[in-house]
Amino acid sequence: MLQRMYDWIDERVDITPLWRDIADHEVPEHVNPAHHFSAFVYCFGGLTFFVTVIQVLSGMFLTMYYVPDIENAWRSVYYLQTEVAHGQIVRGMHHWGASVVIVMLFLHTLRVFFQGAYKKPRELNWMVGVLIFFVMLALGLTGYLLPWDNKAYFATVVTLQIAEGVPLIGEMAKTLLNGDPSIVGAQTLARFFAIHVFFLPAALFVLMGIHFIMIRKQGISGPL
Amino acid sequence: MSEKKQQVSRRQFLNYTLTGVGGFMAASMLAPMVRFAIDPVLTASTAGEMQAVVDVSEITTDPQRFDWTVEQVDAWYTSDVTHSAWVYKNENDEIVPLSPTCTHLGCSVSWAGNEDYPDQFYCPCHDGRYQKDGTNVADTPPPAPLALYEYEVRDGTLYLGQPVPRGGV
């Protein structure tokens, strides 16, 4: 049945070469943990991607209950945690996953760095990777404010002070992030929500696309 | 496929294993999220409690409008919502609590709302009319009679529940 459905589509739009490009390629011996156990270090990039998928999915589901408004943000989070079935699990996935992403990203970076895998011809992919790292940090930072509790509020106050510390444009950068020259409130929350849910994920998807296309084009770096 | 002994190749075996493990991981990831999303569908409705509306002695044979306020809990938002009913006693001394919601498009009807029809319910939106017992007048827009509230009388007070629609044409 499935085979026939696949054949029906494939006959018309020829999808086999497409998914072969994505999934069907050899894993070199030096990257295969079955040959050398130490090759598990090559898993960190994939694990980062896996946790990112969890973050995207759990985040999408969380927005079914969350509202980015100073009157109701905390109450909606409290409601989904205490009243909605599996609310603790779904928010827990997003909460802990946020930290796990950073850890995996860091381990992946360490592996690439200490193996020298960033060297020519892969310098561009290293740069894109660093951009992904910044986007992830920004996602963690903007997401931190959204529950609108004391910890979130004061962490954001500190964040804005850091932004203000930038030479020359600090004042403007702070107002741009904050939405108001002095009040950390309604506009800040709405802005952080928009950045966290629309702008940064869009940037992340584009960068990840480039990252993966370059890996396939250049192949994985050779053994040490 | 018709060989007597079907050999599972190493490739096939690994494919099945991978699909199985992958499917299990995807399912365990998605299951809590899906349950989380469909929760409102599976939550039992809390509506249905009877609310005290008015002292029975105030009810006359003419329909009067009575309002009562309910504290409505909408997830994280609690508010006071006012409902109303047109109530009278019919010739058999039975209480008739009618919903004011027009069965045409949901405007609010009122008793003697139009000077030309002093003993009918009138809806100002599209000139819908109902008899005193809530039956819709033929050749006016409403397709069904006004809904009747569930009611009970306890200690001389009228309690109303949910409006129950009456079938129409």
pLDDT in tens, B34-68: 999 999 999 877 666 788 888 888 888 889 899 99
Contact A93 B32 (CB under 8 A): yes
A 10 A CB-CB count for B25 gives: 11
Residue A17 — φ and ψ, nearest 5°?
-60, -30
Shortest distance, CA B35 to any CA of chain A (angstroms): 7
Distance CA A186, CA A191 (A): 9
Report residue B10's pLDDT band, with 50, 70 and 90 as the boundaries. Answer: very high
The mean of the pLDDT values for chain B is 88
DSSP run (H or E) holding A78:
helix A73-82
Interface of A with B (CB under 8 A): 54, 57-58, 61, 64-65, 72, 75-76, 78-80, 83-87, 89-90, 93
The predicted pLDDT at position B115 comes to 86
pTM metric for this prediction: 0.83
**Greater model confidence, A53 or B3:** A53
**Complete edge-to-edge strand list for the sheet that includes strand B148-154:** B51-55, B157-164, B148-154, B95-98, B77-89, B64-74
The predicted pLDDT at position A26 comes to 80
Highest-confidence segment of A21-30, A126-135, B135-144, B154-163: A126-135
Shortest distance, CA A32 to any CA of chain B (angstroms): 15
Report residue B4's pLDDT band, with 50, 70 and 90 as the boundaries. Answer: low
Shortest distance, CA A191 to any CA of chain B (angstroms): 22
B119: buried, middle or exposed (CB in 10 Å: 19+, 13-18, 0-12)? exposed
- Tell me the Ramachandran region of residue A206: left when phi exceeds 0, alpha when psi lies from -120 to 50, beta otherwise: alpha
B22: buried, middle or exposed (CB in 10 Å: 19+, 13-18, 0-12)? exposed
The predicted pLDDT at position A183 comes to 93
Domains of chain B: 51-164 (2.102.10.10)
Which residue is closest to B40 within chain A, CA to CA? A84
* Percentage of residues of chain B with pLDDT beyond 90: 49
The predicted pLDDT at position B130 comes to 92
Distance CA B83, CA B68 (A): 6
The predicted pLDDT at position B24 comes to 96
> Average pLDDT for consecutive 10-residue bins of chain A (224 residues)?
92 88 82 90 95 96 96 96 95 97 97 94 96 97 95 94 93 93 94 96 98 91 86
The predicted pLDDT at position B47 comes to 63
Residue B139 — φ and ψ, nearest 5°?
70, 15
Amino acid at B32: P
Contact A86 B42 (CB under 8 A): no
Judge whether residue B169 has pLDDT over 70.
no
Domains of chain A: 10-218 (1.20.810.10)
Contacts of A142 (CB under 8 A, 6+ apart): A192, A193, A195, A196, A200
Q: Which of A54, A57, A85 sits opposite B39 (nearest CB)?
A: A85
Distance CA A173, CA A163 (A): 6
pLDDT in tens, A12-35: 999 888 888 877 778 888 998 989
Judge whether residue B2 has pLDDT over 60.
no
Distance CA A163, CA A174 (A): 5
Q: What residues are paired with B154 via a beta bridge?
A: B157
**Taking Cα atoms as reference points, which of B133, B132, B131, B127 lies closest to residue B104?**
B127
Distance CA A101, CA A95 (A): 10
Residue in this structure with the two tokens 């006012």, named with its chain if needed = B82
> What is the average pLDDT across B152-161?
89
**Greater model confidence, B167 or B60:** B60
Report residue B72's pLDDT band, with 50, 70 and 90 as the boundaries. Answer: confident
The predicted pLDDT at position A129 comes to 97
Report residue B114's pLDDT band, with 50, 70 and 90 as the boundaries. Answer: confident
Contact B36 A83 (CB under 8 A): no
